[in-house]
Amino acid sequence: MSIFTGSAVALVTPFKEDGAVDFEQLKSLVEYHVANKTDAIVICGTTGEASTMTEEEHMEVIAKCVEYTAKRIPVIAGTGSNCTETAIKLSKEAQEVGADALLVVTPYYNKATQGGLIKHYTAIANAVDLPIIMYNVPGRTGCNIQPATAVTLAKNVKNIVAIKEASGNISQVVKLAQLADGCIDIYSGNDDQVVPLLSLGGKGVISVTANIIPEDTHDMVQKYLDGDVAGSLALQLKAIDLCDAMFCEVNPIPVKKAVALAGLCNGYVRMPMTEAEPSSVEKIKKAMTEYGVKIVAE
């Protein structure tokens, strides 16, 4: 059974002006997504700025998200690291605090061979009982999970059940779908490629843009799965300019500004992230306004 079908939000982590995690706003965000059709929450991923958190903060944010969500939708905890032992430790702790599944990014900076990836993911999976989504985002990590590697892992490690495909390479996903023949769930990791991934048998999307258009992102997937391909495509095409705006600077800078403009939470980021440039802010505002997302704060 799939961890989720539909739209999982790659949730931003709200910070206070002094850099501390704003748990009151985090609770508000969880309630917003539960009420607006989001099918799962990915906490402490790239968009959640986990790379700037201490291990203690990382676990507290996951634990609070689990508490606030109260099993109404799955919580998928980001626990990846470029150190296998660290990833194992984080994964065990996320299981202990009640996460429903794990999102594990490939090793970054030091990278890994394909054989190394098999050993890395197998070691993490064997240390926990939770289902694991592998996260393939070579543009950020410099490390690509080849289709044959993903399939080998899915077929040989019982709790490696899915992959978030953010390579942007549709041909690679086609090959993955062919080799997998249904043995692994595929989620789009690119908001502008949801419908193409669904057409290849994908189960949904782990979405940045869902931070501000959760209901439409859910509907984009659900319409496709219900057979309304035209309706799904219409939502995909409508969202393209908004998706582009969410990546006009490095993620999560633009989406942090967008959630602040929408009045969902403040937009503070942690260094080395910085506030969006004025030209980017204008692009974000324009895309939000044209889409129909109300701007309530500056």
Structural domains in the chain plus CATH codes: 6-228 (3.20.20.70)
Contact present, 205 and 187 (Cβ < 8 Å): yes
Both structure tokens of 256: 């942090």
Residue 245 pLDDT class (50, 70, 90 cuts) = very high
**C-beta separation of 42 from 258 below 8 A:** no
Mean pLDDT, residues 82-106: 98
The SS3 of residue 274 is coil
**Token duo for residue 100:** 């429903």
Residues labelled as active-site residues? 135, 164
Chain centroid to Cα 126, Å, comes to 23
Is the pLDDT assigned to residue 213 strictly greater than 90? yes
C-alpha to C-alpha distance for 58 and 36, rounded to whole angstroms: 25
Q: Would the CA dihedral through 135, 139, 142, 145 be positive or negative?
A: positive
The rounded percent of the chain whose pLDDT value lies above 90 is 99
- Provide the token pair at 259: 């959630």
Question: Which of the four pLDDT bands, split at 50, 70 and 90, describes residue 101?
Answer: very high
d(CA 253, CA 86): 26
* Alpha helices by DSSP H, 54-186: 55-69, 84-96, 114-126, 138-141, 147-156, 170-180
- Region 49-75: what's the mean pLDDT? 97
Mean pLDDT of 130-155: 97
pLDDT exceeds cutoff 80 at 298? no
Residue with tokens 């501000």: 212
Largest Cα span, the chain: 51
- Please state the pTM of the whole predicted model: 0.97
What letter does residue 167 receive in the DSSP assignment?
S
CB-neighbour burial class of residue 285 (10 A; exposed 0-12, middle 13-18, buried 19+) = middle
Mean pLDDT of 32-47: 98
pLDDT tens-digit profile of 53-62? 999 999 999 9
The pLDDT value recorded for residue 297 is: 85
Q: Tell me if residue 163 falls in helix, strand or coil.
A: strand
**Cα separation, 178 vs 276, whole angstroms:** 40
pLDDT at 157 over 80: yes
